[in-house]
């Protein structure tokens, strides 16, 4: 029987979301061990993360086009997606890690993410009572902490990458069953469908287009940072001849990525009070600066290196939910579903490019060059949001707070 009460329900949805989203970076978290044991190259390493993103894009577009979120009861949709994703993840242990089948399994995991993250948003929205901004920030925080969780698994279980994969899958299995015991706070609203015929009209909306530009710059940086910061730290710790560099890099990466959950909550809180463009611009200035300098701190004192990376971890995701909020506030109501799908699809496709560029540039120019390349995204995004702020239509954001 489903349990009642807003606090219980929202807490359960958030925890389940966190546990299931551990699958997203489960293989990425163990890249140092995989590269050492199997000698996999930069391309295969990148595909462990980028194939999940590509799967998420495919799953999101198909789900929006077919209206699956309206046709399938959300708790069952979420549960089935989590169970299939967990199964695809654990099957990694049965195929060659340096082959194509492991990438196909990661792709399936990504497709299933489209039935977890957006559906979790819909379920928690049924409990919204004038606190939508906080609840959205809570779910983005769960995404962030879930992305960090496999790095903690790498320390909590014996330091064998196979156990990290198992722990992430078990976490998602438990979440898949637990979500069935959550009661919704009301009748879930219909999801706006994806309508390709609206794309041209949406793109002709200048303020909306600039909100998307800001998001694209954000996405250029975010997943590449999350995907590669662990390997960067591993190399930095190993170069210092620190004992057990794998443990220390995993713990540090968990802290750096996980602390972004608090950045997400803070970003949502302040965006409603001082303005969305204010928060997004400030976050991208901080994250872009960190991207520009972080790689140069590989040989710096450890505490200074970790401090820079923690500030990066907070700022890189603090603005994430606000770009979607901008689209919701700037788009015509009947265009919101298509606009959000378009924004997310293009943003995740852009992230695929930066994820694959990082190791290539790192091989030629070191980690400073690789991370500095990511700073181009926040720079581009900041310019877009400054231009949006100067448009008269920006008065529609955050109740007039721009």
Domains of the chain: 1-183 (1.20.1250.20), 193-396 (1.20.1250.20)
Evaluate if residue 280 carries a pLDDT over 60: yes
Q: Are 262 and 196 in contact (CB under 8 A)?
A: no
Rounded-to-integer distance, Cα 97 and Cα 118, Å:
29
Identify the CA nearest to 189 among candidates 115, 244, 121, 272. Answer: 121
Evaluate if residue 118 carries a pLDDT over 70: yes
Using DSSP, state whether 3 is helix, strand or coil. strand
User: For the ranges 124-128, 186-190, 221-225, which has the lowest average pLDDT?
Assistant: 186-190
pLDDT the model gives residue 2: 46
Return the number of other C-beta atoms located less than 10 Å from residue 293's C-beta: 16
Convert the pLDDT of each residue in 7-57 to its tens digit: 788 888 889 988 998 898 788 778 778 887 888 877 888 888 888 889 988
User: Given 3-state DSSP classes, what are the helix, strand and coil percentages for the chain, each rounded to the nearest 5?
Assistant: 85, 0, 15
Tell me the CA end-to-end span of the chain in Å, nearest whole number: 44
How big is the CA angle at 391 (ends 385 and 393), to the nearest 5 degrees?
Answer: 105
Taking all residues of the chain, what is their mean pLDDT, rounded to a whole number? 84
Tokens representing residue 218 in the block: 């954000």
H or E element: which one contains 139?
A: helix 132-156
Return the number of other C-beta atoms located less than 10 Å from residue 347's C-beta: 22
Angstrom CA distances, 263 to 135, 142, 257, 315, stand at: 14, 12, 10, 6
pLDDT the model gives residue 192: 61
User: For the ranges 134-138, 184-188, 189-193, 208-212, which has the lowest average pLDDT?
Assistant: 189-193
Share of the chain above pLDDT 90, in %: 30
Rounded-to-integer distance, Cα 121 and Cα 15, Å:
13
Rounded-to-integer distance, Cα 402 and Cα 390, Å:
9
- Residue 90's pLDDT band (cuts 50, 70, 90): very high
pLDDT the model gives residue 304: 92
Evaluate if residue 1 carries a pLDDT over 60: no
Question: Which distant-in-sequence residues (6+ apart) come within 8 Å of 31 by Cβ?
Answer: 45, 48, 230, 231
Residues in the chain: 402
DSSP one-letter code for 309:
H
Evaluate if residue 248 carries a pLDDT over 70: yes
């Amino acid at each position: 029987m489903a349990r009642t009460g807003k606090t219980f329900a929202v807490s359960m949805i958030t925890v389940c979301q966190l546990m299931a989203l551990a699958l997203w970076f489960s293989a990425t978290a163990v890249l140092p061990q995989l590269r050492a044991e199997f000698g996999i190259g930069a391309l295969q390493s990148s595909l462990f993360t980028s194939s999940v993103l590509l799967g998420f894009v495919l799953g999101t577009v198909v789900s929006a086009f077919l209206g699956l979120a309206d046709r399938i009861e959300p708790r069952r949709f979420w549960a089935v997606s989590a169970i299939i994703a967990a199964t695809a993840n654990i099957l990694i242990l049965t195929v060659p890690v340096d082959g194509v089948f492991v990438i196909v399994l990661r792709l399936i995991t990504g497709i299933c993410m489209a039935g977890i993250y957006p559906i979790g948003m819909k379920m928690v929205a049924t409990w919204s009572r004038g606190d939508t901004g906080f609840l959205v920030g809570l779910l983005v925080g769960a995404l962030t902490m879930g992305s960090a969780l496999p790095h903690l698994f790498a320390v909590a279980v014996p330091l064998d990458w196979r156990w990290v994969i198992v722990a992430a899958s078990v976490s998602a299995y438990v979440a898949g069953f637990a979500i069935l015991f959550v009661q919704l706070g009301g009748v879930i609203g219909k999801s706006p469908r994806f309508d390709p015929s609206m794309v041209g009209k949406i793109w002709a909306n200048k303020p909306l287009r600039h909100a998307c530009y800001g998001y694209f710059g954000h996405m250029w940086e975010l997943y590449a940072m999350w995907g590669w910061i662990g390997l960067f730290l591993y190399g930095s710790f190993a170069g210092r001849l620190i004992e057990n560099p794998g443990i220390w890099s995993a713990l540090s990466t968990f802290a750096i990525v996980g602390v972004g959950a608090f950045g997400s909550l803070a970003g949502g809180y302040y965006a409603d009070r001082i303005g969305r463009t204010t928060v997004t611009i400030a976050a991208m200035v901080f994250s872009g600066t960190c991207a520009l300098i972080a790689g140069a701190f590989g040989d710096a004192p450890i505490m200074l290196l970790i401090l820079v990376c923690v500030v990066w971890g907070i700022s890189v995701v603090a603005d994430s939910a606000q770009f979607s909020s901008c689209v919701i506030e700037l788009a015509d109501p009947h265009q919101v579903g298509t606009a959000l799908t378009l924004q997310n699809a293009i943003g995740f496709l852009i992230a695929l490019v930066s994820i694959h560029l990082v190791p290539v540039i790192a091989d030629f120019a070191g980690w400073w060059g690789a991370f500095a390349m990511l700073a181009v995204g926040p720079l581009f995004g900041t310019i877009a949001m400054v231009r949006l702020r100067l448009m008269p239509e920006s008065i529609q954001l955050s109740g007039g707070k721009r």
